[in-house]
Homo-oligomer: A and B are copies of this chain.
Amino acid sequence: MKYVVIGGDAAGMSAASRLKRVKPEEEVIVFEKTEDVSYSACGMPYNIADEKNPMQKLVVRNAETFRTKQNIDLRTGHKATGIDKNKKIVFGEKSDGSTFKEQYDKLLIATGASAIIPEIHGINNEAVFVLKTLNDGKKIKNFIENKKPQTALIIGMGYIALEMAEALSTRGIKVTMIKKRQQLLPWMLPELSNIVGKELADNKIEFFPGQPLKAITKEESSLIIKTDKDNFKADMVLIAIGVKPSSELADSCGIKLGKNEAISIDSNMKTSVADIFAAGDCADCMNIVSGQKTWTPLALTANRGGRIAADNMLEEKSSFPGITNTSVFKAFNLEIAKTGLTLDEAERAGFTPVYKVIESKSKAHVYKDAAPIHLSFIADKKTGRILGSQIVGTEGAARRINSAAVALKAEMTLEDFYNCDLAYAPPFSPVWDPLLTAASILMKQID
């Protein structure tokens, strides 16, 4: 049996490792178009903030280790360009321009996602960046070191944008942020997004919502960024308006696409074409709260999906459990965490969402330095079922989200959660954990 994997990032290498561990005698070939495999993409903003830490340190395991230690036939600089699903052959092009083809018995597509780049005048400029691949990160870091930019404009307001606002500020660069839509963080409860807005302002980040990008022009050593309202001047620009699934290869061989043009897969990671599987950021997945397909590129989903795809390629039945869409990130001193559905998502899924943001403390009230923590559950008004939770705070606020993620998995109501026996000691929490208080307060709004 010959197993072929396209894409050597989280999902692809998780799958290849598992395939080889279970079947050491079988051939496992991975085609990766770049030279980098298995690096911590999520660590890039934090690395950019740290002048002294080389970006190469983000490589968790290098290609050679996969080859020699795990005996995976990892072929970097190999870009797959076509699949013949009938003859079961992958075609491609090497970085030296030559071509290759390879037969497979079972194929995994793990082509990931790519940064969305707006098609506007002046976008191709050496001072205009995205941050998706390790190479993108290296370019930004080199630019900062060589060109010593004083000012940066970030376009977008997602977690990469916010993490990079902090990273660039840490490097002494004055950051301005613009975004197309009017709302700062549309997915976030307004009371919480206001707190994030204040944190940005407190850290001297100017932001201008409601300004769609129109063009970028060069002026001496700087860039002029034009929106439909204003002109901004900056030494560098980061485009951080989101990512899209890299599903063109799958599409071209007739594999069905789903949510957000991601590859549609079943719970066994199977695509619509026999013997072709998909996992990671290129594929969709089930949100177990809404019961609907979603496209949510997240590291744990990719790692888990890779493992489960491998199991199914090995014909060991294994199902992806679905996600609750849990994410955390840092913006300056704030920790921001969410799990489950947003208000909009909850409504679209047919629920009647209610929420109530409360303020609690990071530890017992007797501590003078107990930090504020703002949080809420989102629950269904009719049944009390927990649909999501959002937390903004400091001092370990973000790690609290996991309790809510477990509650979502267990399909708990607010009352079920309120009855959980959470930990208390003065250095860690008030007697009533902030999440218990949030549950208790919101219970009053349930029918």
Contact = CB atoms under 8 A, between A and B. Distances in A.
A53 B366 CA distance: 10
Interface in A307-334: 321-330
A161 to B, nearest CB: 14
A139 interface: no
Interface in A361-413: 364-368, 396, 398-403, 405-410, 412
A409 B420 CA distance: 6
Report the interface size class on chain A: 35 or more
A206 interface: no
Contact of A328 (B328, B335, B425): B425
Contact of A57 (B57, B366, B406, B427): B366
Contact of A432 (B303, B400, B429): B303
Interface stretch (A23-31, A38-46, A271-279): A38-46
A328 B421 CA distance: 12
Nearest to A415: B321
Contacts of A426: 40, 42-43, 46
Contact of A402 (B47, B335, B364, B433): B433
A247 interface: no
A396 B397 CA distance: 10
Given A321-B419, A406-B407, A329 B425 contact: yes
B364 A42 contact: yes
A205 interface: no
Contacts of A433: 402
Contacts of A400: 399, 402
A253 interface: no
Contacts of A425: 42, 327-330, 398
A417 interface: yes
Given A339-B423, A421-B300, A421-B326, A47 B366 contact: yes
A303 B417 CA distance: 16
A427 B300 CA distance: 15
Contacts of A405: 403, 420-423
Given A328-B423, A401-B423, 4 more contacts: A326-B421, A399-B399, A399-B400, A399-B428
Interface of A: 10, 40, 42-43, 46-47, 53, 57-58, 60, 298-301, 303, 321-330, 335, 337, 339, 364-368, 396, 398-403, 405-410, 412, 416-417, 419-429, 431-433, 435
10 contacts: A42-B424, A42-B426, A46-B427, A58-B366, A327-B425, A328-B428, A330-B427, A339-B423, A399-B428, A406-B422
